[in-house]
Amino acid sequence: MRKLGALSFALLASCSKKADEPVIVPPAIVYTPAQCGYSWAPSATRGYTDLVLDGATGGQPLRVRIGLGGKTTSGESGYADPTTTAVFTWETHDPSTAAKVRLGTSPNALTDVRTGHSWTTPPPGAGVGANEPGTSMHEVHVCGLTPATTYYYQVGGGSPETWGDAQQFATPPSSGKVIIGLSGDSRDSADVFQTLQTRMRDAAVNFQIFSGDLILFGTQQSLYGTFLDKAWKDPSGKLLTLGQQMMLMVAGNHEQEAAQFFGNFALPGEGTDAETYASFDIANAHIVLLDDESIASSPTSDASTEQLAWLETDLTKAEGNRAKAPFIVVVHHRGEFSTSKHKPDKDMKRMRDALVPVWDKHHVDLVLNGHDHNYERSKPITGPASAPVLQPSVAGTTYVVCAGSGAGSYQPGTEAAPYREKSVGFGQYSPPGTSYLGVYATVTLEPGRLTFNAFGLKAAPPDDVIDSFVLTR
């Protein structure tokens, strides 16, 4: 069923309102996925067009990716849960409206059919990507899944029906052992990004978190296609990780808050600044995903104010839930305690001043970043950022920069930094006797333990373990 467009709503509101009432333009669609406990409506700031619920016009699905939907308020019905929810997003070459997923726990019985919505992401009005066509996007939110279960699926639909490749993915377990793959900053080499994705496949991570700067220009849709193609299939044409593993993509500065970024990937949230902050509980950890662009670049903006207020509420609840989720982990792009290239930048200082007191107040255990293209870990510390104080692991925050999935390398910091525990470069700054293409990590959650392993990415496995530590609670 088609919904009225934004213009139609505006005309109706204008005709019926009182003289002193503002014109309120409702969203072009409201999508309420089955069994989810939440609804989704597009943010007007994205500029999406052609928004409709599942329609009859089919097209060949391309680059299916799996993200996460849900609410951002812990404790509410519909709060984000990667063990029971998955969001399937894909594109088609030609404009089409079909948005269906058929899935099941057997490849021969894809009997559970869910419907979604579609839209067109327009090119930017000017600058990089402005000469590219709009992108026909499709998305289905699937809730009510069973944790620790392998599902087989296809996306597509329409009349006549057109379906994409048969694929499979596994929901993470709700307790016990969970492995998260961590990477960031791929923007200069899609080939290195593909090599890293083979490692994520071989490690069989339960899902991935990417800390920003997937591509060089966030407004250029064709670049997303280039990099996502590399994760979609390996050089032999075999399906790789895209569509096989959930990928939670946090925006970096190169994403430029562009509609193209938000259209390509699904994160929880609603409202004007949807998908710029979210959290969820998994195994023994509370995970926070934060797009730090507004906080770093426009600290007095409405978006920054909203994010900081949400962080205060979310982390207060997380502290009260330590018995179930003892570890609090935050992922955002810029590194508070990096000693590499970007340390003196003004936006880094604004970000540090805003966020370090928040992490200290709520005793955040681990902060994971990108932005500076190297690997660096702090000792457990508390602020102020200008003079960090060493703390026992249960009292301080460990900060990790792990950025090198294709971006060019930066020289690790050389200045004296008594709070720095480990620093490793790649590329031309690789340790003697090695030749790393980049760096990445895994975070393993188990009862009472969080184990972090960082790796130097080599042209061929096995990769070197360049750092390892364990947090206990």
Q: What gap in Å lies between CA 134 and CA 146, rounded to an integer?
A: 36
3 state SS of 441: strand
* 133 part of a folded domain: no
* 153 part of a folded domain: no
Question: Nearest CA to 289 among 219, 225, 369, 228?
Answer: 369
* 198 part of a folded domain: yes
CA quadruple 113, 117, 123, 124: dihedral, nearest 10: -130
pLDDT score of 12: 31
The yes-or-no verdict on residue 8 having pLDDT over 80 is no
CATH code: domain of residue 321: 3.60.21.10
Work out how many domains the chain is built from and give that number.
2
* 370 part of a folded domain: yes
List, for residues 381-430, the tens digit of each pLDDT value. 999 988 999 999 999 999 999 999 999 999 999 888 999 999 999 999 99
pLDDT score of 14: 35
* 445 part of a folded domain: yes
- Structural domain span for residue 295: 178-472
Q: What gap in Å lies between CA 185 and CA 404, rounded to an integer?
A: 6
* 347 part of a folded domain: yes
Helices (DSSP H) in 398-442: which residue ranges? none
* 191 part of a folded domain: yes
Question: Can you state the percent helix, strand and coil of the chain, rounding each to 5?
Answer: 20, 30, 50
* 323 part of a folded domain: yes
Q: What gap in Å lies between CA 344 and CA 338, rounded to an integer?
A: 10
Question: Nearest CA to 92 among 57, 125, 67?
Answer: 57
3 state SS of 176: coil
List, for residues 316-368, the tens digit of each pLDDT value. 999 999 999 999 999 999 999 999 999 999 999 999 999 999 999 999 999 99
Which residues, including other chains, have CB under 8 Å from residue 277's CB and lie 6 or more apart? 72, 269, 288, 289, 290, 291, 307, 310, 311
Q: What gap in Å lies between CA 67 and CA 84, rounded to an integer?
A: 12
Label residue 271 left, alpha or beta by phi (over 0 means left) and psi (-120 to 50 means alpha): left
pLDDT score of 27: 63
